[in-house]
Amino acid sequence: MALIIAIDASTNNIGYAVMSLGEEKLLASGVIHLGHYDDFYERLKRGPRLLKECLKETNLMDFPIDTIVIEQPFFTNGPSVGKSISYMIGGCLCILAPWCTNVFEVAAGQWYSIFCGIKKPNVKGMKPVERLLAMKGPIVQKSNELYGLNLDVLKDNDRADAIGMAKAYCYMKKSNYFDLQKDAKDEKSKKKKLKMAQKKAAKTGKPIKGELPL
């Protein structure tokens, strides 16, 4: 049984979820609360270690871990917060490196739309609580529906985020999603090469050499 570990790290909490890759069964999930430590670097020191302890207590770490899934860091809350989140993610990855070094970064909007079946809502101008409910409500609801949980939007959204990331990755892995992404990237690269060749040909007056897409 190969496992997926999804980590949703923030400056105050670390949500995690362990899911079987084939059956997409949720085997364990939880959240580590760090907000009671005033100093961020104290949270950074303790958070990854507590994550390791929580995962070891599940008795699942003896199974092969296929991938650790993390959310791509973003800086919508400012560069300082983004930097701190990156530090926390890095600490978690380092402490889990003995079990797995295969890491997949998934964009927030990407896993959100796959898991919830809708695009991330536009929360601009909303008050903090309204923004949290609008953004996290669909994730928590979906997690509760799929896995028979009773998560609360205000208290358990980091845990629900990790569940959503794990489930979305499993979907991408079993579908042809990665192949389509690669094909799209290759096509974009070909078009870029063609454009550069056309510019060079126009400048030099020499014909385009080689096989390039039209």
Quick: pLDDT tens for 11-49.
Answer: 999 999 999 998 999 999 999 999 999 999 999 999 999
| CATH architecture for segment(s) 3-170 | 2-Layer Sandwich (3.30)
For the segment 156-168, the average pLDDT, to the nearest whole number, is 96
b/e per residue 7-29 (b: at least 16 CB within 10 A): bbbbbbbbbbbbbbbeebebbbb
111 CB-near residues (< 8 Å, 6+ apart): 71, 164, 165, 168, 169
Helix axes 153-174, 177-204, angle to 10 degrees: 70
pLDDT higher than 90, residue 183: no
List all residues 6 or more positions away from 84 whose beta carbon is below 8 Å from its beta carbon: 11, 40, 44
Bigger pLDDT: 208 vs 62: 62
44-48, 99-103, 174-178, 189-193: least confident range: 189-193
CA distance 139 to 76: 20
User: In whole numbers, what is the pLDDT of the chain averaged over residues?
Assistant: 88
Question: Rounded CA gap, 121 and 126, in Å?
Answer: 11
